Structure 1
């Protein structure tokens, strides 16, 4: 009902007002009951709106601290939410974006990460832009939404490891992809960070194939993925 009644437009307006990004909505967070059950007309963050409209729900409760863990209820709502946010980042190309994402999903399922990134690069070259999108955060959020809509896979953003945080970790039936995005830098620099921080060590006990992917992105001129390195 919320998706069909125009709420995403209002939600985007409130996200801008409170400086909330799609990545932040996708993460679980701890909150006091007063933080998420406040009247929407007096809310000081977007959390009450997300909770009362059903975009996030109570996932757990910690008796020791009297805090609640909040998160997106299920896969269906996650996909619906991010699909509703996608047009805000792709402007008139959102329908083509959904097609490209579906095609990427098949390529990744077949272990063809090169093909998936090539398809993404080709698609992004067709996306119109305006002046207020020439900054890193816009493209970081756009890429997050695109990867989050690869529905067959487990997507983690800024997953903590012993040496830092990975940008995007994508787990398929057979592979674990560790991705590092570098804006205004090279794919080799991105791949070097994965290796220097030993991000792959966090998955050493997994029986899946570990694939490291360094991605370079040009915000100023190309506004697209410029190169990537796979190891």
Structure 2
């Protein structure tokens, strides 16, 4: 048996024949009984694997779920516009790194949906809202937003630089406030992290 030690990619686990403990019946309940979730767990508790599994589910990749519980529970396998933000891999101890990371995500999504970036009139949150509404309009499906390690930009500077911690907190607060304004365009939102800020 092959154990997926250190592997956080659902599709890699399935495609390469690693052991996978099937909890997809719980995932099916999660996505059908609620809309916005915050999932806080210690490191190495499977948060990133959960995000990857949800991403593949919402992308309608039915072939990956063959033989799993969710395969018999799901009948439609609808493809949704999925927006995945992962704050792993960046070091946020320098001012501006967080904005650059968010700007890159939003710019890529604007390009994907043919949106002319309106940086002079809209802040990052406003641009993200425009992406979500455009994706909904173009695909006919509400958007899915999956955010892994939402708190890393704060944890990196916690007890190191109080001013940068507050600065990053305000950037994230403004960006995440989009979810309230975008409610009609959202099918599902999940934020994972280690702590509750």
Range class of TM-score, shorter chain: 0.3 to 0.5
Please identify the structure whose Cα radius of gyration is greater.
Answer: 1
Bigger strand fraction: 1
The TM-score normalised by the length of structure 1 is: 0.35
